[in-house]
Amino acid sequence: MENWYIPATIIPGIGLLILSTSNLLVNLSAEIKWLINEDTSKTILINRKLKQLKLLNNAMVFLYIAVACLVISALVAGVYKSVASTFDSGIYITIIGIISALIALIMLITYSFRAVKIRQDQFHNKC
């Protein structure tokens, strides 16, 4: 990989996704705790929100994997460049990191659609 530092430039963007997803995770967890303690009659709603929590948690895992792959990729590519090696494994690790970030983004999009549906159902007293 000629420009070994490029994978490292993607990391701050993924870091912002991790930060915002962490905030969603904390807020959803607090809401579930409140529902369990105060309004146990809404088991369907609690179960739906627990599934949402699991989806967010899985997205976080994929975001962490993406960051790890991008850091390793930049490190490996930098080392190979400094020793003038022709083998370029950094690009493959970068691709794994990008695919992992893409999977996390798909999970976050799914979460968003489901969250809106749950709110609409709550508004219409369907759950």
Residue pLDDT tens, the chain, 127 long: 567 778 889 999 999 999 999 999 999 999 999 999 987 788 899 999 999 999 999 999 999 999 999 999 988 888 877 777 766 778 899 999 999 999 999 999 999 999 999 999 988 887 6
Whether 41 contacts 93, CB under 8 Å: no
pLDDT of amino acid 2: 65
d(CA 88, CA 107): 30
Token pair of 44, please? 């369907």
Q: Where are the domains of the chain?
A: 8-123
Report the Cα–Cα distance between both ends of the chain, in Å, rounded. 53
pTM recorded for the entire structure? 0.86
| Nearest Cα to Cα of residue 57 among 25, 13, 17, 97 | 25
pLDDT confidence of residue 127: 67
Please give the structure tokens belonging to residue 74. 């930049």
Instruction: With CA atoms as reference, report the closest residue to 72 among 11, 28, 24.
Output: 11
Residue whose token pair is 């309004």:
39
- pLDDT tens digit sequence for 53-87: 999 999 999 999 999 999 999 888 888 777 777 66
pLDDT value of residue 78: 80
Please give the pLDDT value at position 81.
74
Q: Report residue 87 as tokens.
A: 């083998």
How many Cα atoms within 13 Å fall on the side-chain side of residue 119?
A: 8
Determine the Cα–Cα distance for residues 119 and 4; give it in Å rounded to an integer. Answer: 45
